[in-house]
Amino acid sequence: MPTAIEIFKHLPKKNCGKCNYPTCLAFAMQLANSKAKLDDCPFVSEQARAALAASSAPPIRLVRFGSGARVIELGDETELYRHEKRFFHPTAFTVVVPDSLAPSEAGRRAKEIAAVRFERVGQALSFDAVCIRDVSGDAARFASAAEAVGSSVDLPLVLSSGSPERMRQAAMKVIQRRPLLHGANAQNLVPMAALAKELSCPLALMQNGLGEMADLVAQARAAGVEDLVMDFRTSGLKDQLESSTVARKHSVKKTYRGLGYPILVEAGKGEDGILRGMLAVMKYGGLVLFEEISEAQALPLFVLRQNIYTDPQVPIQVKPGMYPVNGAKEDSPILFTTNFSLTYFTVLADIEKSKAPAWLLVVDSEGLSVMTAFSAGKLTPEIVAKALESSGAREKSRSGILVMPGMVSRMSGKLQEATGLKVIVGPKESSGLPKFMKGL
């Protein structure tokens, strides 16, 4: 949203009061706070209306591709650094399937990509889209690869070809999926943009150089395509970092408006490819295309994205309460931990490994880990005692045993007093639980 002063510049300055505010400035201030509607002033010109619409547009356009429940949203970011608020739309990861593969092979490959899946702190981590690439130069081949991949997986699709004609034929096969067309360059812009407009698909522009990219953006917009993605065809990490940073900074600071679109990074493969993908996660990449990436490389990449895109104000948390593990019964012991997701899922996995029935009491530590919560006074004997009461723990488990994290053994005495239970100090790391539970 523009500031009150920016809005004020575009108002008629009659101070007539028809908007129900005494002055145009007062009205502008209400508008800036979204407490009034521009329509309430009968005198705003069309020009002013357009100017205000443009300056209240998000600094980076929100671009969607895919269909139904499988839609990827790119862009609409507002910050340069995550601590300023947060990053909103996690970098999407795509793996390329070349049309040199026979259609059945291409379909199988796409299924493999879709099947890569990890669970971590209660979230599923996986690839987001599949890219079918025209390497054969054969329209029929590219189209059947697209069709085969489209019918094998329900992930959003990216079509990659420099030929508008071959692009059209492939796109027609999967048009109901609203694929991203990758892409247009300085040579094919006119027909490619016409195609994107006709099919109403988003279009990726491929061009190295900021000024050159801005030109291409302007041309595509003039041709009526607004859903754009920028692929800077960068030569290495330095080029990628700098072009992405310049585009992002200008957009969010509104110092230059011609590059306000999500960024696509063609990562390639090997070590360099993974590094490019990781850089995209940290520095402003919206969509990454990998030619090849192993599962062993994918997990650190996924976790980096999970880390960078968490909301700095709210740690990932789980609901406090009393949870049965391994078929806990009345005589099973209670173990307690905090409600920081990372802590909870780590401990849960280790109790499960022990196969011993137990109750896991998750104490509300406002999303802090054990040691952090302890240092911050968010994990005290009183808080644990309260959690025992509010979760009905004493009714669920009559074992009379409470196992505590070894790291906070310092509070064991007080804890015993506060709860009246037999407090047992557990291992420092929950990885010691399988062994520990045997001896319990």
Partner 1 sequence: MAEVPVPKEKWSGKIGTVALGATSEEGGTRSSRLVIGGGTGMPFLSYEGPTTHRPLIAGEVLDTVADLPDLVREEFGGAVDDPAEWAKAWVERHGADLVCLKLRSTGPEEGDRPPEEAAKTVLRVLQAVSVPLIVYGSGHEEKDAKVLEAVSNIAPKERLLLGHAEESAYKSVSAAAMANDHAVISFANLDVNLSKQINILLTDFGVRKDRIVLDPLFAALGMGLEYSYSVMERIRLAALMGDAMLQVPMVCDTSSAWKAKEASEEIEGHDGLEERAAWWEATTAFAALMAGADLLIMRSPRSAGIAKRAMRSLMEVD
From the list 131, 295, 146, 310, the residue with the least C-alpha distance to 204 is: 131
Per residue in 326-340, is it b (16+ CB within 10 Å) or e — as a string?
eebeeebbbbbbbbb
Asked whether 157 and 204 are in contact (CB, 8 A), the reply is: no
212 binds partner 1 (CB under 8 A): yes
Taking the C-alpha atoms of residue 111 and residue 113, their distance in angstroms, rounded to an integer, is 5
Which of the residues 268 through 327 are near ligand B12 (CB under 6 A)?
Answer: 315
97 with 106: CB under 8 angstroms? yes
Q: Is residue 241 part of the contact set for partner 1 (CB under 8 A)?
A: yes
Instruction: Find the binder of partner 1 among 73, 112, 154, 215 (CB under 8 A).
Output: 215
Residue among 136, 326, 346, 416 that touches partner 1 (CB under 8 A): 346
223 binds, among partner 1, ligand SF4, ligand B12, none (CB under 5 to 8 A by kind): none
Secondary structure of residue 141 in the 3-state scheme? helix
Q: How far is the CB of 7 from ligand SF4 (least distance, A)?
A: 10
Q: Could you say which of ligand SF4, ligand B12, partner 1, none residue 343 binds, taking C-beta under 5 to 8 angstroms by partner kind?
A: ligand B12
CB-CB contact of 347 with 318 (8 Å): no
Judge whether 52 and 36 are in contact, CB under 8 Å.
no
Shortest distance, CB of residue 211 to partner 1, whole angstroms?
4
**Which pairing describes strands 401-404 and 287-290: parallel, antiparallel, or unpaired?**
unpaired
DSSP state at residue 79? -
Q: In angstroms, rounded to a whole number, what is the distance separating the alpha carbons of residues 325 and 336?
A: 12
Which residue in 306, 326, 409, 416 binds partner 1 (CB under 8 A)? 306
Binding mask 82-101 for partner 1 (x = CB under 8 A): xx------------------
CA angle 398, 402, 408 (to 5 degrees): 170
CB of 389 to ligand B12, least distance (A): 19
Q: Does 61 bind partner 1 (CB under 8 A)?
A: no
Q: Give the orientation angle of helix 295-308 with respect to helix 270-282, to 10 degrees.
A: 10
The size of the interface with ligand SF4 (CB under 6 A), counted in residues, is 14
List the interface residues with ligand SF4, window 24-83 (CB under 6 A): 24, 27, 41, 43
Q: What are phi and psi of 137, to 5 degrees?
A: 75, 15
CA 336 from centroid of its chain's CA atoms: 31
Identify what 254 binds: ligand SF4, partner 1, ligand B12, none; CB under 5 to 8 Å per kind: none
Query: β-pairing, 129-133 with 92-98?
Result: parallel
Query: Does residue number 342 form part of the binding site for ligand B12 (CB under 6 A)?
Result: yes
Q: Using CB distances below 5 to 8 A depending on partner kind, what does residue 406 bind out of ligand B12, ligand SF4, partner 1, none?
A: ligand B12
Q: Choose the one of ligand SF4, partner 1, ligand B12, none that binds residue 222, judging by a C-beta under 5 to 8 angstroms depending on kind.
A: none
Q: Rounded distance, CA 135 to CA 167, Å?
A: 12
Q: Which is nearer to ligand B12, 207 or 369 (CB)?
A: 369
Task: Give least dist CB 378 to ligand B12, A.
Answer: 7
11 binds, among ligand B12, partner 1, ligand SF4, none (CB under 5 to 8 A by kind): ligand SF4
Classified as helix, coil or strand, 165 is: helix
Distance of alpha carbon 193 from alpha carbon 200, whole angstroms: 10
Tell me if 14 contacts ligand SF4 by CB under 6 A. yes
364: left (phi over 0), alpha (psi -120 to 50) or beta: beta
Report the number of secondary-structure helices (H) and strands (E) in the chain.
17, 17
Q: Given the rule CB under 6 A, which residues bind ligand SF4?
A: 11-12, 14-19, 21, 23-24, 27, 41, 43
Q: Given the rule CB under 8 A, which residues bind partner 1?
A: 81-83, 118, 120, 210-212, 214-215, 218, 236-238, 241-242, 245-246, 249-250, 253, 255-256, 258-259, 271-272, 274-275, 278-279, 282-283, 294-297, 299-301, 303-304, 306-308, 310, 312, 342, 346, 349, 369, 431
Q: Given the rule CB under 6 A, which residues bind ligand B12?
A: 315, 335, 337-338, 340, 342-343, 346-347, 367-372, 374-376, 403-407, 426-427, 429-430, 433
